[in-house]
């Protein structure tokens, strides 16, 4: 690993109040048993990172972990391997499932690691990838397809969340799907629902920049409620509504957009509790499904899809910035001027 007097630049959450900081931190020590050190090619700014920056109540659980280097959507190449590492070599291009099971809870002992109740995540509970190097256990590594730009591997984590929403919503060919929220997760849901054969509409609010990204990917059923607040009422009911906006108003709009016995998938993260019209849910016999991280097989399917059409998924990336411009990337995310912002720790300003 390259060194600069034993330190590296990192973007960290240092205290339980709004804001993140670019600071110098020590380089990671040599990898432990069954660990590798990854030289980060790219790390994406996630909606969760924006919530952490704002310090919304839904992320106060991280207080005991501070200070911590953020960054949980990332990919790169292995730069060092620890003892006991098998099947991985220096130079391998990888992405990482950031959330690791504890191995000791009831779900883990019952061979259900995806249901672990004590998961810990790189970039949340421990130092992450908004830095040139990050340490990860080999159990969380996934190989990138041969020949793919390693920076695109940073899309695997958000796309796995989108893929989980599509699976949990049981989206299939011929269905009408509406996605609320044209951010990264919503864009991924739109792409993967279309890949499953569904007709897709995306709903936004003052989202011209992110709609431009969707148009570049071939979507034309786009409704900006700022331009026409009643536009959704004129559409036919949908089979599946995916709430990926994290906006309270979107929840009941999603419910009202569904046909009888339709399905709403809740995947957006909300800063506070959201009131719901449960009477509609009951009388119209709707199905409400919560969806979050993808299972291991969903990750494999997501990476395969990424490898099949990398140029299509690459259109989701609207900003590639050196780590020194991380705060500018966060500002663009907060202003909703960006689709996906990738920070490139190895790039110069």
Question: Do 151 and 23 fall into the same domain?
Answer: yes
Query: Which residues neighbour 146 within 8 Å (Cβ) at sequence distance 6 or greater?
Result: none
pLDDT band per the 50, 70, 90 thresholds, residue 196: very high
Task: Provide mean pLDDT across the span 44-71.
Answer: 93
Partners of 17 in the beta sheet?
none
Question: Do 34 and 146 fall into the same domain?
Answer: yes
pLDDT of residue 234: 81
Q: SS3 string of 227-243?
A: CCCCHHHHCCCEEEEEE
The number of angstroms, rounded, from the C-alpha of 287 to the middle of its chain's C-alpha atoms is: 24
In a domain, 303, yes or no: yes
CATH number of the domain enclosing 274: 3.40.50.720
pLDDT of residue 235: 85
Q: Provide the token pair at 247.
A: 């906006």
pLDDT of residue 81: 96
Question: Do 282 and 177 fall into the same domain?
Answer: yes
Question: Do 79 and 49 fall into the same domain?
Answer: yes
In a domain, 165, yes or no: no
Question: Do 221 and 298 fall into the same domain?
Answer: no
Q: Do 288 and 266 form a contact (C-beta atoms < 8 A)?
A: yes
Question: Do 66 and 190 fall into the same domain?
Answer: no
Mind listing the pLDDT tens digit for each residue in 266-290?
999 887 888 888 999 999 999 999 9
Q: Provide the token pair at 199.
A: 């007709």
Taking alpha carbons only, the member of 293, 348, 255 closest to residue 124 is: 293
Mind listing the pLDDT tens digit for each residue in 87-104?
999 999 999 999 989 989
**How many CB atoms within 10 Å of residue 281?**
15
Measured CA to CA, the distance from residue 269 to residue 90 in angstroms comes to 36
Question: Do 110 and 151 fall into the same domain?
Answer: yes
Q: Would the pLDDT of 349 be above 50?
A: no
CA end-to-end distance (rounded Å), the chain:
20
pLDDT band per the 50, 70, 90 thresholds, residue 2: very low
* DSSP element (H, E) containing 292: none
* DSSP element (H, E) containing 149: none
Q: Provide the token pair at 318.
A: 């609207």
**How many CB atoms within 10 Å of residue 233?**
10
In a domain, 263, yes or no: yes
Q: Which residue range(s) make up the domain with 276?
A: 170-290
CATH number of the domain enclosing 30: 3.90.180.10
In a domain, 257, yes or no: yes
Query: Which residues neighbour 199 within 8 Å (Cβ) at sequence distance 6 or greater?
Result: 174, 175, 176, 177, 221
**How many CB atoms within 10 Å of residue 289?**
15
Question: Do 307 and 279 fall into the same domain?
Answer: no
Q: Do 147 and 332 form a contact (C-beta atoms < 8 A)?
A: no
Q: Would the pLDDT of 4 be above 60?
A: no
Q: Would the pLDDT of 233 be above 90?
A: no
Percentage above 70 pLDDT, the chain: 98
In a domain, 274, yes or no: yes
**How many CB atoms within 10 Å of residue 282?**
9
* DSSP element (H, E) containing 80: strand 73-81
pLDDT band per the 50, 70, 90 thresholds, residue 347: low
In a domain, 99, yes or no: yes
Q: Do 59 and 117 form a contact (C-beta atoms < 8 A)?
A: no
Q: Decide which of 256, 273, 290 is a domain's last residue.
A: 290
Mind listing the pLDDT tens digit for each residue in 240-252?
999 999 999 999 9
In a domain, 271, yes or no: yes
Question: Do 62 and 126 fall into the same domain?
Answer: yes
The number of angstroms, rounded, from the C-alpha of 189 to the middle of its chain's C-alpha atoms is: 11
In a domain, 265, yes or no: yes
Q: Do 180 and 193 form a contact (C-beta atoms < 8 A)?
A: no
Q: Decide which of 290, 305, 327 is a domain's last residue.
A: 290
Question: Do 45 and 78 fall into the same domain?
Answer: yes
Domains of the chain: total: 2
DSSP helix/strand/coil, 31: coil
Question: Do 98 and 211 fall into the same domain?
Answer: no
Question: Do 179 and 316 fall into the same domain?
Answer: no
């Amino acid at each position: 690993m390259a060194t600069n007097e034993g330190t590296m630049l990192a973007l960290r959450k240092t205290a339980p109040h709004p804001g993140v900081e670019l600071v110098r931190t020590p380089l990671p020590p040599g990898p432990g048993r069954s660990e590798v050190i990854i030289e980060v090619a790219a790390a994406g700014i996630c909606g969760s990172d924006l919530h952490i920056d704002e310090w919304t109540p839904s992320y106060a659980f991280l207080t005991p972990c501070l200070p911590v280097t953020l960054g949980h959507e990332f990919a790169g190449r292995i730069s060092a391997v620890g003892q006991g590492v098998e099947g991985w070599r220096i130079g391998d291009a990888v992405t990482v499932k950031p959330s690791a099971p504890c191995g000791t809870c009831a779900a883990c002992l019952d061979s259900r690691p995806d249901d672990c109740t004590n998961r810990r995540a790189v970039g949340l509970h421990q130092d992450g990838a908004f830095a040139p190097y990050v340490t990860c256990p080999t159990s969380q590594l996934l190989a990138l397809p041969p020949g793919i730009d390693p920076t695109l591997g940073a899309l695997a984590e958000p796309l796995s969340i989108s893929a989980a929403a599509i699976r949990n919503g049981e989206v299939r060919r011929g269905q009408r799907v509406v996605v609320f929220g044209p951010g990264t997760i919503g864009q991924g849901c739109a792409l993967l629902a279309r890949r499953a054969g569904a007709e897709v509409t995306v709903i936004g609010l003052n989202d011209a920049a992110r709609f431009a990204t969707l148009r570049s990917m071939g979507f034309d059923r786009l409704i900006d409620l700022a331009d026409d607040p009643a536009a959704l009422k004129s559409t036919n009911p949908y089979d599946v509504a995916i709430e990926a906006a994290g906006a309270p108003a979107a929840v009941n709009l999603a419910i009202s957009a569904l046909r009888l016995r339709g399905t709403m998938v809740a995947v957006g993260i909300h800063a506070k509790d959201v009131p719901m019209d449960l009477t509609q849910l009951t009388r119209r016999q709707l199905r409400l499904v919560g969806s979050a991280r993808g299972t291991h097989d969903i990750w494999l399917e997501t990476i395969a899809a990424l490898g099949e059409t990398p140029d299509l998924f690459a259109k989701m990336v609207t900003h590639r910035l050196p780590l020194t411009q991380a705060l500018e990337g966060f500002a663009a995310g907060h202003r909703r001027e960006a689709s996906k912002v990738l920070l490139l720790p190895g790039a110069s300003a």
